[in-house]
């Protein structure tokens, strides 16, 4: 079984190229990130080349974070900005050869937000052959986020109808909102483009909490790609990695 370090949370106190080297030293098979745009893409590419780690994915910009934005793609009055964020993510992904782009929809609701998100996803899917991911966020951490459930994500993927649009299945978010992780993984298997994990409910390392990750990892033993460790270490990342050697057996 292979694992990816999400550098939005792990080694987040280090510059992104240094975090890539730390992930390699810790034995991860890949990396992924949230918003790498303050780091020159060439510097990230150099760190990836030096370590041999692939970059699995990155997120589109959240927008005006100070104003409380958390994505733009479902905001009817921010279409131009959403398209610019998508294009920015594709350009960065092209340099670092990121496998996927997570298009963040933001805080919105209603039919107009739905139509806007569909149009922006079609734009993203047509603009690149890379995977485009959408991710439901749980209502406890992100109240008001447009995409909240895997059923809603399935309907959107069906409506958009693009072969490169996939679901980001985050066991943490699904665990907080829907539960029944193994059944949901099986039911959505063909739509899933990436899987992430963290403990429930505190979003810490996967060695405690409500979800039995020994069972979940065993269930995913045949998954062909690295699973994304997207948890909050609450301190020194290296001190939280006991689960990694355990999961590898």
The structure's pTM equals 0.97
**Which of 32, 159, 210, 230 is flagged as catalytic?**
230
Give ∠ CA 130-139-159 in degrees, rounded to 5.
Answer: 40
- Give the count of alpha carbons within 13 A of 222, CB side only: 4
The residues, any chain, with a CB within 8 Å of residue 50's CB and separated by 6 or more, are: 21
Would you give the DSSP letter of residue 71? B
C-alpha 76/C-alpha 53 separation (Å) is 38
Q: Would you call 135 a catalytic residue per the annotation?
A: yes
User: 134, 154 in Cβ contact below 8 A?
Assistant: no
Element (H, E) at 80: helix 79-96
**Sheet (strand 30-32) strand order:** 30-32, 3-6, 227-229, 192-197, 165-170, 131-134, 100-102, 57-59
Print the domain residue range for 84.
3-248
CATH of residue 95: 3.20.20.150
Q: Rounding to the nearest 10 degrees, give the CA dihedral for residues 127, 71, 234, 205.
A: -50
Residue from 143, 203, 213 nearest 181 by CA: 213
**Which of 69, 135, 178, 210 is flagged as catalytic?**
135
Q: For 211, phi and psi rounded to 5 degrees?
A: -95, 135
Please state, in angstroms and as integers, the Cα–Cα distance from residue 34 to each residue in 7, 61, 89, following that order. 7, 9, 11
In total, how many domains does the chain have? 1
User: 176, 140 in Cβ contact below 8 A?
Assistant: yes
Using omega within 30 degrees of 0 as the cis cutoff, is the peptide bond preceding 201 cis? yes
Q: List per-residue pLDDT tens for the chain, 249 residues long.
A: 999 999 999 999 999 999 999 999 999 999 999 999 999 999 999 999 999 999 999 999 999 999 999 999 999 999 999 999 999 999 999 999 999 999 999 999 999 999 999 999 999 999 999 999 999 999 999 999 999 999 999 999 999 999 999 999 999 999 999 999 999 999 999 999 999 999 999 999 999 999 999 999 999 999 999 999 999 999 999 999 999 999 987
C-alpha 139/C-alpha 149 separation (Å) is 9
């Amino acid at each position: 079984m292979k694992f990816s370090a999400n550098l939005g949370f792990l080694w987040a106190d280090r510059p992104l190229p240094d975090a890539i080297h730390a992930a390699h030293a810790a034995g991860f098979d890949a990396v992924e990130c949230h918003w790498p745009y303050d780091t020159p893409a060439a510097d990230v590419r150099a760190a990836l080349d030096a370590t041999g780690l692939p970059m699995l994915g990155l997120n589109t910009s959240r927008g005006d974070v100070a104003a409380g934005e958390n994505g733009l793609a479902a905001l009817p009055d921010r279409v131009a900005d959403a398209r610019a964020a998508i294009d920015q993510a594709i350009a960065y992904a092209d340099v670092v050869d990121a496998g996927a782009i997570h298009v963040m929809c933001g805080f919105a609701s209603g039919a107009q937000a739905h139509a806007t998100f569909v149009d922006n996803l079609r734009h993203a899917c047509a603009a690149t052959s890379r995977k485009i991911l959408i991710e439901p966020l749980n209502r406890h951490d992100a109240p008001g986020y447009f995409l909240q459930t895997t059923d809603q994500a399935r309907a959107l993927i069906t409506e958009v109808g693009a072969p490169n649009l996939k679901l980001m299945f985050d066991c943490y978010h699904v665990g907080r909102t829907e539960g029944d992780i193994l059944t949901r993984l099986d039911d959505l298997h063909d739509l899933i483009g990436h899987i992430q994990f963290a403990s429930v409910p505190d979003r810490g390392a996967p060695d405690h909490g409500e979800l039995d990750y020994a069972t979940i990892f065993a269930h995913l033993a045949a998954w062909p790609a690295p699973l994304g460790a997207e948890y909050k270490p609450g301190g020194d990342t290296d001190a939280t990695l006991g689960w990694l050697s355990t999961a590898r057996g």
